[in-house]
Amino acid sequence: MPSVNSQNGTHRESRYLDYLPGLYRDDKFMGQYLNIFEDIMGPLERTVDNLEIYFDPMITPESLVPWLASWLDLKPGPGWTVKRWRELIKSAALLHRLRGTKRGLSEYLRIYTGNVPEISEYIPGMSLGEETKLGVNTKIGSAGAGNHFTVTLEIDAASKVDIDTVKSIIDSQKPAHTIYTLQIRQR
């Protein structure tokens, strides 16, 4: 049953009448009454109909990006642009899978800085003689040498990259038993 829209005088039938038994569909008052609830619930229905938009980091409204990041326990610090936040959220599953690896650290730093870092590990070579007995009179490696790596980043002078954020990223992504040296080169 059509009802009159008070704003422009046009008739509008409530979609909610379709959910009622036939007896109520012919009642003019019922159609007008249900229009009130349809007007109230309409925005919520449209939100639910487009719910997937809110979970896609590349198209969600900018105001929801921090909320989406909080679901993944991502805490972007100073210098993070919304574009980088979106890319970080999109890459979260990959970064989690690669956490503690050279590739994972490199990808995380690339997302934040926009540049691929150079990560080098020092692994000294060695040879054993005939008289050496491993664990008795011979140790492999020097203390800490195998646990050290160097991260070299090239950053534009105009870049808003925060060094403390870079250190925080490295600390959160590196294996726990390792130490590192951070070298920053200005372009």
Q: Where are the domains of the chain?
A: 2-49, 55-90, 100-128+142-187
pTM across the whole model? 0.66
Q: Collect all residues with Cβ–Cβ distance below 8 Å to 66 and sequence separation of at least 6.
A: 85
Q: How confident is the model at residue 99 (pLDDT cuts 50, 70, 90)?
A: very high
CATH topology of domain 100-128+142-187: GMP Synthetase; Chain A, domain 3 (3.30.300)
For 31, phi then psi, to 5°, come to -60, -45
Q: Which two tokens stand for residue 98?
A: 């690669």
Beta carbons within 10 angstroms of residue 143's beta carbon: 7
100-137: pLDDT as tens digits: 999 999 999 999 888 999 999 876 666 666 777 776 66
Residues 108-123 as b or e (16 or more Cβ within 10 Å = b): bbebbbebebebeeee
